[in-house]
Amino acid sequence: MQSSFRVLFSVVLAAFLVVLQTEASPTSSNSTLEARQGAGGCSHIRVRKEWRTLSALQKLDYIRAVKCLQTRRAKSRDHPSVVTLWDEFQYSHVVSAHEAHIGQFLPWHRNYLRIYEQTLRESCLYFGPLPYWNQAIDADNAAVPIINSPVFHPILGFGGDGAPGTYTLPTDPHPTDPVLSSRIIPELYKGCVVDGPFANTVLHVGPGYLSTNHCVARGINEDLRPFVTTAAVNVVLAQPTFETFRNELDGTTVFPLPPNSKPHDAGHALIGGHMTNFYTSPGEPLFYLHHGNVDRIWWLWQKADLANRLTDISGPVNVNDLTGPQVNLSTMLNYSSLTPSVPIGDMMNTEAAPLCYIYA
């Protein structure tokens, strides 16, 4: 009897290990690597995937890796508020914010996501796909509230909406020269996330230029749904030049949002809370999924005319000088101590080094 039980146990264990290996192996059908030689110095092409297409194990492992970044000590202490690797990414966005938007917006965030993915793998041993959230899938279904999206699941997602009355924005010590952020929507700071894996997360950077210990705050705003639908994205993809494309995708840097919001700014305000802060929005874990989708939209637009769009770039260098210098392929993208500066030209082709990825 014991021998039969051991045989049965061995068979079940072997089957479980096969399933687990299929979930995790970089050479399996669920792989994050495409089985072909990459172009432009890529040995393989990674495949980024929409959150709801990840397996349960992949979702849990990604969440584990994010929480790892939130506890792993920062490599560089550029500021007293920078304690963890998570803080380090957030602080890089703070100090680069005026350059990381407008003309540099899309290539800057493309490299930011690359470094984020690399850090997840090297520091927290995450080997699954880098996920994105296609908000249009949820926004198109008007009968179902956005809060029902899988990204807000309490176990296999990032937790739900902010709980009213659990968070209050600090008083800005310099109201005439705001350090908190002049680009903020206070009414969308509904409260702290109180369920899911990030319910007890303590952020150290922000809001804005402030340094305070605070929760992950949200305030889901259904009114922004129309601006992130498939129809809204199709308007973006139909643009003939990068200049018109970036303006239709990016939207404004001024809050409150105008009635003609765009998929990028509306996607931030849809989640609300810290996602509405121009400087410190990367404190919200969903920031990286939202910007993965923004990058995917740029990738789709580029794919429609690679011959012309792999070199098409335009816009002001600095958000505070709209009539000043304009970006070009040699413009350097800066990230404080997070990573060395790179030229925009290196960020144009996702299937060439150092990027080496596509979207599913």
d(CA 65, CA 131): 12
Cβ count near 308 (within 10 Å): 12
Architecture of domain 32-359: Orthogonal Bundle (1.10)
Distances (CA, A) of 161 to 56, 64, 328: 21, 20, 40
> What is residue 2's predicted lDDT score, i.e. its pLDDT?
41
> In angstroms, what is the C-alpha Rg of the chain?
21
> What is residue 206's predicted lDDT score, i.e. its pLDDT?
92
Tell me if the bond preceding 207 is cis, omega within 30° of 0: yes
3-state secondary structure of 97: coil
d(CA 79, CA 257): 31
> What is residue 137's predicted lDDT score, i.e. its pLDDT?
98
Nearest to 101 by CA among 210, 228, 247, 204: 247
Give the count of alpha carbons within 13 A of 140, CB side only: 10
Contact 63, 197 (CB under 8 A): yes
Helices (DSSP H) in the chain: which residue ranges? 2-24, 56-69, 85-96, 105-124, 135-139, 230-237, 242-250, 263-271, 286-303, 306-309
Contact 341, 335 (CB under 8 A): yes
Q: What's the predicted TM-score (pTM) here?
A: 0.89
Low-confidence ranges of the chain (pLDDT < 50): 1-31, 35-36
Break the chain into its structural domains and give their ranges.
32-359
Nearest to 336 by CA among 87, 106, 69: 87
Contact 224, 185 (CB under 8 A): no
d(CA 44, CA 47): 10
Contact 96, 335 (CB under 8 A): yes
